[in-house]
Amino acid sequence: MRTRTIFALLAPLLAVASPAGAKGEKAPLLLDATKLDPAQVLPPPPAPDSAEVRDELAQLHAIDKARTQADFDDAVREEHTKDGSIFHDAIGPAFDLAKLPATAALLDTVRREEKAAADRAKAHFLRTRPWLVAKDLRPCNGGDDEPQSSYPSGHTTMGYSMAAVLARLVPAHADAIMARAARYARSRLVCEVHFRSDVAGGQAYGMVIAERLMLEPAFQVAFKDAARELQAAGIR
């Protein structure tokens, strides 16, 4: 029993000390906490008792009254789509990530980086979700999110970080790509799972993440591979 207890205490340390490349080990983040501190790039969300929050809640109540079933269904679809496929219509039918492995890998990297960065930001700011502040709101996911994970919006962070990278890859489609990111972000309000300032924070954070990634040499190599692949597929 004593041996098992000691091993259980040492297991986390042994895992950290495992050599690089061990089976199942993840590659280190390009943008870890030392390179991207949310407190240094995002303002805090509005205070809970502020006039701004009251205005944000009024907006969510207005959305709730105006929301149609079609709006709700579309927001639910957006809720469950968390990858680069959201930009298919903005770029065109040739943008099929199943046939574009280099581009898919690049966007997977963006997803991994922005998710880690967004999680750090949520853990730092610990903002309460709107449906816990106003019990009469009807979130499209039934209130299934972590209660204090509202700021910034993770979906919005993803949408804009990917959009900013894709707009550089295929500049002829930049307007449509950024418009798609904006529509994706608005779905978080239609879903009633975020405040307006959460979405604004996600937009700003996503753009910062993209800018920082573009400065990383390893990301630049993957970006060039994706650019060549998209050009070969006739996507410019």
**Per-residue pLDDT at 4:** 36
Whether residue 12 is contained in a domain is answered as no
**Per-residue pLDDT at 15:** 34
User: And the tokens for 176?
Assistant: 């449509």
DSSP-assigned states of every residue in 95-145: --GGG-HHHHHHHHHHHHHHHHHHHHHHHHH-PPPHHHHSTT---TT-S-S
Single-letter code of the amino acid located at 53 = V
Whether residue 22 is contained in a domain is answered as no
- Evaluate the omega torsion of the peptide bond into residue 152 and state whether it is cis, within 30 degrees of 0: yes
**Per-residue pLDDT at 117:** 98
Single-letter code of the amino acid located at 129 = R
Q: How far apart are CA 116 and CA 38, in angstroms?
A: 11
**Per-residue pLDDT at 112:** 98
Whether residue 111 is contained in a domain is answered as yes
CATH code: domain of residue 137: 1.20.144.10
DSSP-assigned states of every residue in 159-218: HHHHHHHHHHHSGGGHHHHHHHHHHHHHHHHHTT-S-HHHHHHHHHHHHHHHHHHTT-HH
Whether residue 21 is contained in a domain is answered as no
**Per-residue pLDDT at 215:** 98
Q: How far apart are CA 107 and CA 229, in angstroms?
A: 13
- The full length of the chain comes to 236
Query: Residue 150's domain spans which residues?
Result: 27-232
Count up the domains in the chain and report the number. Answer: 1
Q: How far apart are CA 198 and CA 153, in angstroms?
A: 5
User: Exposed (0-12), middle (13-18) or buried (19+): which is 119, by Cβ within 10 Å?
Assistant: middle
Please list the rounded mean pLDDT of every run of 10 residues in the chain (236 residues).
Answer: 34 34 71 97 97 98 97 96 97 97 98 98 98 96 90 98 98 98 98 98 98 98 98 94
Whether residue 176 is contained in a domain is answered as yes
Per-residue DSSP letter, 84: G
At a CB cut-off of 8 Å and minimum separation 6, what does 235 contact?
91, 92, 94, 95, 170
Q: What predicted TM-score, i.e. pTM, was given to this entire model?
A: 0.89
**Per-residue pLDDT at 24:** 56
Whether residue 35 is contained in a domain is answered as yes
Whether residue 11 is contained in a domain is answered as no
